[in-house]
Chain A
Amino acid sequence: MSWQELLSMIGNGLWETCYMVLFSTLFSYAIGLPLGVLLVITERGHILPNAPVNSVLGTLINVLRSVPFLILMIAVIPFTRLVMGTAIGSKATIMPLTIAAFPYVARTVETSLKEVDRGVIEAAQSMGASRMHIVLKVMIPESMPSLVSGAAIATTNILGYSAMAGAIGGGGLGALAINYGYYRYRTDILLVVVVVLVLLVQVIQLIGTRSSRLVDHRLK
């Protein structure tokens, strides 16, 4: 294999990984963010107290989070095939990644939103804010720095899962590492993949930390 071939393979793997991680993150936020909001506001004494909804949701999320990713990925194969048409490749892997990540996202979002001072929410209520106003104009903007750093961690988690997904038919850098590094004893490729993954995590974390600080107006 020439250097050019190797490079283009890695480049391709990187592209697939980024694509998978990006969409999985977006989808898991599309599901996890509203659930995180719901977890907070249905709590006792919050703006939409509802004990049954709160405990059912909490339990469901805990159950999903305790299933190991590999098992989850195999378990959802029929579902993935149904929705995506196939169960292998990087596109199809977005499905199990999203299912694995959204419960985690819901919990991170919950933690961030809980940082918002009750007094501030009460002040908004005293001004005649509706629940929707409170969620969209108070809770989310006020916890933005924490949401952003939470998102960076969620993204790196999904990146880790995506590499694991390579073992059972997923695409991306993970698949490269398994197929060449493991099955064909190409330690050099394995090493390059690991280095690229490490760099990727660093970049995501750096962007997360920087933007979290950038959107935080409490410390300036």
Chain B
Amino acid sequence: MPSERPAPSGNVMIDIQGVKKIYPSQAGDVVALDGIDLAIHKGDIYGIIGMSGAGKSTLIRCINRLDSPTEGRILIDGQNILTMGDKDLRRMRRTVAMIFQQFNLLMQRTVLRNVCFPMEIAGVSKAQAHKRAKELLEIVGLAEKADAYPAQLSGGQRQRVAIARALATDPKVLLCDEATSALDPMTTQAILSLLQDINKRLGITIVIITHEMAVIRQICTRVAIIDGGRIAEKGNVREVFANPRTTAAKRLFRTTAEEELPPGKRCLRLIFDDNRTYEPVVAGMILASGVPVNILSANIQTVAGQQRGQMLVELPDDPEGAERALSYLKGKQISIEEVNADELAGTIVHDR
């Protein structure tokens, strides 16, 4: 396996060193980040993925100090942002822009004046700000909506405005916290392509927080998997995908396989406690149903030191064959979940 690209430190845009974040609370301290080390290089589109509550938002909010880490150092382009005073902090934030899941536009301002906002607070002259705002709206493909109000726009259009606004102060870094999570798949694609385009054309380093594997796969160059406030795995996207080493990664990838389920087909996830029972069960199922059964994926996971095999199968189109296969499986020592492309959760049809 090729190793991680060794990076000269001059190439690092965001350097996160031993960052811890503890939220004190009556019920006991919540350790949201538990020693994060991460180097994000200039020009990267860096994906950070993890389950809900893993600490993704906390981490990205530390990068522009919307939250302050309890411990550790964060350098942006070589500058330690955690020791900055108020004024330097505000200047730094102009170079580290951010977009949000809920867009967070000013609802009482027109699109144009929303894009002008960061320039206005940075003291750019009105005429200059207008000119730049128009250029930016051109880039995000919303020039004709300059005088509209955010309430008149669709979600995708609102996020484009947010992106134009984020670019207004010529940032070096763009942080995206679940920026596509409120959008439908088509719009998500379009926004991701826009981000990719911005990364290429303007050379802006992009950090993307998401819980969707598809987002990482579509545009990220590198990925870090965060789990329980720690980095479980990181590296080149293709390598991490091809060879997940941790359960956190595998857990995420399991949902990926299901994202690719053939639409309109009945599929089952079979969970074996012992991988040796694999083959006889498959052979028996095919024999019992009398028609071929398509195996979509199969893998073995180690959960808490125990091997667990799991397999995704597509039932035959013939309903009688499908029923025969299913009743055969129900007689075996396995758990069966019916899953389909639309809903990732799946319904348990047989629990051993």
Q: Is A bound to B?
A: yes
- Whether A220 contacts B90 by the Cβ 8 Å rule is no
Q: Which of A123, A129, A130 has the most CB of B within 10 A?
A: A123
With a cutoff of 8 Å between Cβ atoms, the chain A residues found around residue B165 in the complex are 127
CB of B149 within 8 A of CB of A220, answer yes
Contact of A128 among B106, B118, B149 (CB under 8 A): B118
Q: Of A127, A130, A144, A216, which contacts B117 at CB under 8 A? A: A127
- Determine the distance from Cα of A130 to Cα of B120 in the docked complex, in whole angstroms: 12
Do residues A138 and B66 form an inter-chain contact, with CB atoms below 8 A?
A: no
**A215 near B: Cβ within 8 Å?**
yes
A126 cross-chain contacts in B, Cβ below 8 A: 64, 66, 93, 96-98
The residues of A that contact B117 with a CB separation of less than 8 Å are 124, 127, 137
A81 located at the interface, meaning its Cβ lies under 8 Å from any Cβ of chain B in the complex: no
A218 CA to B66 CA, complexed, in Å: 27
CA A146 – CA B33 in complex, angstroms?
39
Name A's B-contacting residues (CB within 8 A).
Answer: 117, 119-120, 122-130, 133, 137-138, 141-142, 144-145, 215-220
Which B residues from 143 to 202 make CB contacts under 8 A with A?
149, 151-152, 162, 165, 169
| In the complex with contacts A127-B93, A133-B121, A217-B108 CB distance below 8 A | yes
CB contact under 8 A between A122 and B104, given known A128-B90, A220-B151, A220-B152: yes
CB distance from A212 to the nearest CB of B (A): 12
Kindly report which residue of chain A lies nearest to residue B93, judged by CB atoms.
A128
- The answer to whether A129 touches B104, judged by C-beta atoms less than 8 angstroms apart, is no
Given contacts A133-B121, A218-B151, contact A127 B94 (CB under 8 A): yes
Pick from A122, A127, A217: contact of B107, CB under 8 Å: A217
Total contacts A-B at CB 8 Å = 78
A123 in contact with B93 given A130-B121, A218-B151 (CB within 8 Å)? no
**Shortest distance between the CB of B251 and any CB in chain A (Å):** 29
CB pair B121–A127 under 8 Å, yes or no, is yes
A196 to chain B, nearest CB (A): 36
> How would you classify the secondary structure of chain A's contact residues: helix, strand, loop or mixed?
helix
Give complex CA distance A145, B151 in Å: 15
23 pairs from A and B in contact (CB 8 Å cutoff): A120-B104, A120-B105, A120-B106, A122-B100, A122-B104, A123-B98, A123-B105, A123-B162, A125-B66, A127-B94, A127-B118, A127-B121, A127-B165, A127-B169, A128-B93, A128-B94, A141-B109, A142-B106, A142-B108, A217-B151, A218-B107, A219-B151, A220-B149
- Please state if B104 and A141 are interface contacts (CB–CB under 8 Å): no
Q: Known contacts A128-B91, A129-B90, A220-B149; decide if A142 and B107 are in contact (CB<8 Å).
A: yes
Q: Which residue of B lies closest to A122 (CB)?
A: B66
Q: B120, A218: Cβ atoms under 8 Å? A: no
Assess the B108–A215 pair: CB atoms within 8 A: yes
A36 to chain B, nearest CB (A): 18
Most buried by A among B89, B106, B149: B106
B348 at interface by CB-CB < 8 Å: no
Given contacts A215-B108, A220-B152, contact A137 B93 (CB under 8 A): no
Q: B236 on the interface (CB 8 Å rule)?
A: no
Are B106 and A119 closer than 8 Å at their CB atoms?
Answer: no
**Cβ contacts under 8 Å, A218 to chain B:** 107-108, 149, 151
